[in-house]
Amino acid sequence: MKSVNVRNMEIAFGETRVLKDVCFDVEPGECFGLVGESGSGKSTVLRCLSLLLSVWGGEVKIGGTSVRDMATPERCRTLQMVFQDPYGSLHPRHSVRTTLSESLIVNRLDNHQERMEQVLTDVGLPIDFLDRYPHQLSGGQRQRVAIARALILEPDVLLLDEPTSALDVSVQAEILNLLARLRAEKGFTYIMVSHDLAVVDHMCERFAVMQAGRIVEILPREAIPGNGATDPYARELIGASLEYERAV
């Protein structure tokens, strides 16, 4: 289990500053949520963390080591990401086997067949799915494959970018259960981006509310039902979600 510490993360695309002084700490084994409207920069945080975007300011430490100091293979085996759209995150011409074995080949790991079977079992897919292509899978199954791809390198930190927002409610429940089970079994640290406070409440211990590239408040999940936020925007967001759900 590794902690994640983000300090003064900043990035600008041209003139627009997309992230401004983002700081947060995630405990080892914690599930940390990032919520906010579209365009608030919550996905950008994940892309910076994973070095998919490389030109940004500030520092990110995972388990005490800066991500920039890690060699690529080490970084890949420390953090992995699950994307929002299961239809766009699997290569349409690669079978599940190719998708999974690619990681193993690149990172020079052995026992391909065993590892692939293990990881498919972990995400609850039958082993003969190895020879399926993405178009032969449903949305939920694709997302399971995407999770399997992230798991196969046995990372410590999983970045989840709206992992269920493209899925139906019943499939979302399956994927959320899977993510919760994997965390309990393997002790992952999760950073989860979501726009759905109900999902954040279900999964995360703490969450940060983002607005216009800034973290306005970091709250524990217990603050959601009674709307315990102090920042006006965070109050508005939580209030709107509560009203929308009328679950109080």
Partner 1 sequence: MTMTDASQRPARETVKRVPQSLIALRNILTFLLKSPTSAFGLLVLAVLLSGAALAPLLATHDPYAQDLQSALQAPSMAHFFGTDELGRDIYSRILYGSRITLTFITLVSVIVGPIGLLVGTVAGYFGGRIDTVLMRITDIFLSFPSLILSLAFVAALGPSLNNAIIAISLTAWPPIARLARAETLTFRSADYIAAARLQGASSGRIIWRSIVPMCLPSVLIRLTLNMATVILTAAGLGFLGLGAQPPLPEWGAMIATGRRYMIDSWWTVTFPGLAILCVSLAFNLLGDGLRDALDPKQMNRR
Partner 2 sequence: MTDHPSDPILSVENLSIHYRGTPRPAVRNVSFTLGRERLGIVGESGSGKSTVGRALLRLLPTAEITADRMSFKGIDLLRASEKDMLHVRGAQMSMILQDPKFSLNPIQRCGDQITEAYLTHNKCPKREARARTLDMLEAVQIRDPERVYGLYPHEVSGGMGQRIMIAMMLLTNPSLVIADEPTSALDVTVRLQVLGILDALVRDKGIGLIMISHDLNLVRNFCDRVLIMYAGQVVESLKASELDNAQHPYSRGLLAAQPRIGGGRGTLPVLQRRPEWSEPVEASS
Binding residues for partner 2 (CB under 8 A): 37-38, 139, 168-174, 176-177, 180-181, 195-199, 201-202, 224-225, 236-237, 240-248
Looking at beta carbons only, is 65 or 165 nearer to partner 2? 165
Side chain identity, residue 36? G
Strand order in the sheet with 189-193: 79-82, 157-161, 189-193, 31-36, 206-211, 214-220
Distance of closest approach, residue 137 Cβ to partner 1, in angstroms? 7
Of 162, 96, 176, 174, nearest to 128 by C-alpha is 96
Residue 137 contact partner, candidates partner 1, partner 2, none, CB within 5 to 8 A by sort of partner = partner 1
Looking at beta carbons only, is 40 or 103 nearer to partner 1? 103
Looking at beta carbons only, is 174 or 236 nearer to partner 1? 174
Q: What is the DSSP secondary structure assignment for residue 131, as one 8-state letter?
A: G
Strand order in the sheet with 16-26: 16-26, 4-13, 57-62, 65-66
Distance of closest approach, residue 162 Cβ to partner 1, in angstroms? 11
Which H or E element spans position 112? helix 112-122
Q: Please report, as ranges, the residues that interact with partner 1 according to CB under 8 A.
A: 47, 50, 52, 72-73, 75-76, 79-81, 83-85, 88-95, 102-103, 106-107, 126, 128-129, 131-132, 135-138, 140-141, 146, 149, 153, 174
